[in-house]
Amino acid sequence: MLPFLCFLVASAAALRHHHAAADVPPSNKLIFILAGQSNMAGRGGVTGTHWDGVVPPDCAPSASVLRLSPSLRWEQAHEPLHQGIDGNRTCGVGPGMSFANAVLRSGGARGAAVGLVPCAVGGTRMAEWGKGSELYADMVRRARVAVETGGRIGAVLWYQGESDTVRWADASEYARRMGALVRDLRQDLAMPHLLLIQVGLASGLGQYTEVVREAQKGLKLRNVRFVDAMGLPFQDGHLHLNTQAQVQLGHRLAQSYLTYGTFKH
């Protein structure tokens, strides 16, 4: 009886050790902050409140792609990447998974795991992302937690602005607010050369889409890059990118990172 009890105790200890080891994320991580509104959160394959569940091969899960969960724990990433982050909204395919897999395929991660930190929230204006806001504080908190277990932040991927096309007051202030966001992030993350890749709007909710696009294209800050989404196909005909478009956008973001990202930090 005693040997059997000893075996049970040893087996339980081994099991606990296995689970503990599985919960420990790799220390070598290349981390990306994904922020903005619904097209970054992902609506590919979403109709109403239903996601079709279709995951393209470019967005398939990988043991080398991790996500920082809503509870601030690293886990294997999979679509929908922003589930639980974007409130109670139905999320589908976004650009994050195809971006991460493209970076891995290119060798751009240099042997590191890719850690994705989803922060996007649908329907948000730039004014809601400014320093002092809940969205800003949550993004900075998640970014800081992401590096606690090792690794470095490679870039912020930013896709936002559709909600700023409705009112002139928001559209005309977009460049100033975006510039302030970049400067504040760099200061609060102690990364003065932090790369930010912003996506040029493919659509808008109002009449000032071109005003916001010009502000995005005209932002003259060091290490801020522009990737255009204009012309990519929509899920709903006018606002949200479909699954195919999100895959293409992920590839474009990856190409921008591989062109302009550095490995010096």
Check residue 262 and give its pLDDT.
53
The confidence score (pLDDT) of residue 239 equals: 94
Amino acid 111: pLDDT = 92
Confidence of residue 261 (pLDDT cuts 50, 70, 90): confident
* 263 — pLDDT class (breaks 50, 70, 90): very low
Could you tell me the pLDDT band of residue 254, with boundaries at 50, 70 and 90?
Answer: very high
Closest CA to 136 of 122, 157, 120, 151: 120
The whole model's pTM is what? Answer: 0.90
Q: Band the pLDDT of 237: cuts 50, 70, 90.
A: confident
As beta bridge partners, residue 93 has: 44
User: Which pLDDT tens digit goes with each residue over 158-214?
Assistant: 999 999 999 999 999 999 999 999 999 999 999 999 999 999 999 999 999 999 999
Contact (Cβ atoms closer than 8 angstroms) between residue 219 and residue 179:
yes
Question: Which class for 56: exposed (0-12), middle (13-18), buried (19 or more C-beta within 10 A)?
Answer: middle
CA 37, CA 199: separation in Å to the nearest integer?
A: 11
* Percent of the chain predicted with pLDDT > 70: 90
Comparing C-alpha atoms, which of 257, 246, 265 is closest to residue 42?
A: 246
Is the per-residue pLDDT at 1 higher than 50? no
Domains of the chain: 29-261 (3.40.50.1110)
Each residue's pLDDT tens digit, 5-45: 444 334 344 434 333 334 678 999 999 999 999 999 999 99
